[in-house]
């Protein structure tokens, strides 16, 4: 099998399906394109020989690669998500294939003067000599996470064609609405039946992640009182000024654009309204559980102080937890990280172990009893017009998955390795 051709062909088919998720929709999946891609994938999985292929009404696709060894082995899972980010259009994706990148600027769209340049994206230097897939400058690409889907399907295809590679049972799943935080909402982890799993949803070559943020969203409603400005003295209460005061109280340097590594932040993402009423939405992020709790308490304190200034019924704060740092669930089973590291090294890849400054479906799944670290998928500049992926890195991801499956069957001490399930 020509792995590079197979993974490119699959990826190019998948990105042409518009699967942009929609936070304003109450349905699951939130958009019909995700169901369309899910059905396409279910058909493809059956065609390559996977068993027990299913797609439910919510768009969750699952399938099984049966074990080809009689020895005890854990059931390993691999997951990727169907949807693309709501931040930019995923309709009419017109990918460009650059057979060999020789360096320098890549003109994505001559008419609109949209250029992917190493001056702005210096990591392009790492990809000289690679086959790159880019956008045409008018949409995102969808490597997050259709690269992961293409890699998982291709890896299963390889294993089906290579009976000499001994492995236990493998389960795969493709989930909807990860980009809007709902990817695990209706996922039945128990029915999935894996002892542990991996999301293939990371970025550049070698990424291996088992730490995510603790995450919450805060919504702050400001209830003002509108009076004609000519006679407003002592009467008007301006909801927008209350919102501005709330924002001014946030630590100036604890924002996404000024933090990195293990530093947390507050991130205002929207402010809507007028004098009478306004609503502010913020994201709260921190790797440490105690600091995470302190951040939520800080916002409550800000709200309380502003209530004392403007009136206790003028400000309403609601905080909703979104996901927690999966590290605490993965640390007791670090063998699953170790075999992923070994799989990369065996494929000639240097593992890059660092935290996810965000979350994956694995954050939720790990707390549902399915420990799920995250593997690289190869994309860069996710969620925008400058997104691209190296086909050569995608091939390395396929090889990593295949080797990981092999190692899982021969490594003692892993969850489920005693032969259960």
Full domain range(s) for residue 297: 214-323
Among candidate residues 44, 178, 207, 380, the one labeled active-site is 178
CATH number at residue 7: 3.40.630.10
Would 63 be classed as within a structural domain?
A: yes
What is the tally of structural domains in the chain?
A: 2
Residues 24, 139 share a domain: yes
Residues 306, 196 share a domain: no
Closest CA to 317 of 225, 231, 218: 218
* 321 φ/ψ sector (left φ>0, alpha ψ -120 to 50, else beta): beta
Among candidate residues 18, 44, 83, 207, the one labeled active-site is 83
Q: In the annotation, is 83 catalytic? A: yes
CATH number at residue 286: 3.30.70.360
Q: Which two tokens stand for residue 265?
A: 């932040």
**How many helices and strands, by DSSP H and E, does the chain display?**
10, 18
Residues 80, 112 share a domain: yes
Phi and psi angles of residue 57, each rounded to the nearest 5 degrees, phi first: -65, -20
Domain closes at, from 288, 323, 358: 323
Residues 308, 371 share a domain: no
Q: In the annotation, is 145 catalytic? A: no
Would 235 be classed as within a structural domain?
A: yes
pLDDT per position in the chain (421 positions), as tens? Answer: 999 999 999 999 999 999 999 999 999 999 999 999 999 999 999 999 999 999 999 999 999 999 999 889 999 999 999 999 999 999 999 999 999 999 999 999 999 999 999 999 999 999 999 999 999 999 999 999 999 999 999 999 999 999 999 999 999 999 999 999 899 999 999 999 999 999 999 999 999 999 999 999 999 999 999 999 999 999 999 999 999 999 999 999 999 999 999 999 999 999 999 999 999 999 999 999 999 999 999 999 999 999 999 987 999 999 999 999 999 999 999 999 999 999 999 999 999 999 999 888 999 999 999 999 999 999 999 999 999 999 999 999 999 999 999 999 999 999 986 444 3
Would 421 be classed as within a structural domain?
A: no
| Burial of 276 (C-beta count, 10 Å sphere; 0-12/13-18/19+) | middle
Residues 335, 294 share a domain: no
Orientation of helix 391-410 relative to helix 143-161, angle to 10°: 50
Residues 187, 87 share a domain: yes
Q: Which two tokens stand for residue 42?
A: 């279910």
pTM of the predicted model, to two decimals? 0.91
CA–CA separation, 214 vs 307, rounded Å? Answer: 28
Residues 158, 112 share a domain: yes
Would 129 be classed as within a structural domain?
A: yes
Task: Let me know how long the chain is.
Answer: 421
Residues 244, 126 share a domain: no
CA–CA separation, 201 vs 143, rounded Å? Answer: 9
């Amino acid at each position: 099998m020509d792995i590079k051709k197979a993974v490119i062909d699959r990826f190019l088919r998948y990105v042409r399906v518009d699967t942009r998720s929609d936070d304003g929709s109450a349905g699951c999946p939130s958009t019909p394109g995700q169901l369309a891609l899910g059905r396409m994938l279910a058909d493809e999985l059956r065609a390559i020989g996977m068993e027990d292929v299913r797609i439910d009404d919510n768009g969750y696709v699952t399938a099984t690669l049966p074990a080809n060894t009689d020895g005890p082995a854990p059931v390993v899972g691999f997951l990727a998500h169907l949807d693309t980010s709501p931040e930019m259009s995923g309709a009419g994706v017109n990918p460009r294939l650059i057979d060999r990148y020789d360096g320098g600027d890549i003109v994505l769209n001559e008419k609109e003067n949209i250029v992917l340049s190493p001056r702005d994206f210096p990591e392009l230097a790492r990809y000289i000599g690679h086959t790159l897939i880019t956008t045409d400058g008018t949409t995102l690409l969808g490597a997050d996470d259709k690269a992961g889907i293409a890699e998982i399907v291709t890896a299963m295809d390889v294993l089906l064609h290579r009976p000499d590679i001994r492995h236990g049972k493998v389960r795969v799943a493709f989930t909807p609405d990860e980009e809007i935080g709902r990817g695990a909402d209706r996922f039945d982890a128990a029915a999935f039946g894996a002892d542990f799993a991996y999301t293939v949803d990371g970025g550049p070559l070698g990424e291996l992640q088992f730490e995510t943020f603790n995450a919450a969203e805060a919504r702050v409603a400001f209830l003002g009182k509108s009076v004609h400005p000519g006679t407003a003295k002592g009467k008007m209460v301006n909801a927008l000024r209350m919102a501005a005061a709330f924002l001014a109280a946030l630590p100036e340097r604890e924002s996404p654009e000024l933090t990195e590594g293990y530093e947390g932040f507050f991130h205002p993402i929207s402010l809507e309204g007028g004098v009478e009423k306004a609503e502010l939405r913020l994201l709260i992020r921190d790797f440490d559980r105690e600091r995470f709790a302190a951040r939520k308490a800080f916002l409550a304190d800000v709200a309380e102080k502003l209530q004392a200034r403007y009136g206790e019924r003028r400000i309403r704060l609601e905080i909703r937890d979104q996901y927690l740092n999966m590290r605490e669930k993965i640390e007791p089973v670090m063998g699953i990280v170790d075999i992923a590291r070994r799989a990369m090294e065996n494929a000639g890849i240097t593992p890059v172990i660092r935290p996810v400054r965000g979350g994956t479906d694995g954050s939720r799944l790990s707390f549902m009893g399915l420990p799920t670290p995250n593997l690289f998928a190869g994309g860069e500049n996710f969620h925008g017009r400058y997104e691209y992926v190296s086909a050569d890195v995608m091939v390395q991801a396929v090889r990593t998955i295949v080797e990981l499956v092999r190692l899982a069957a021969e490594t003692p001490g892993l969850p489920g390795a005693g032969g259960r399930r």
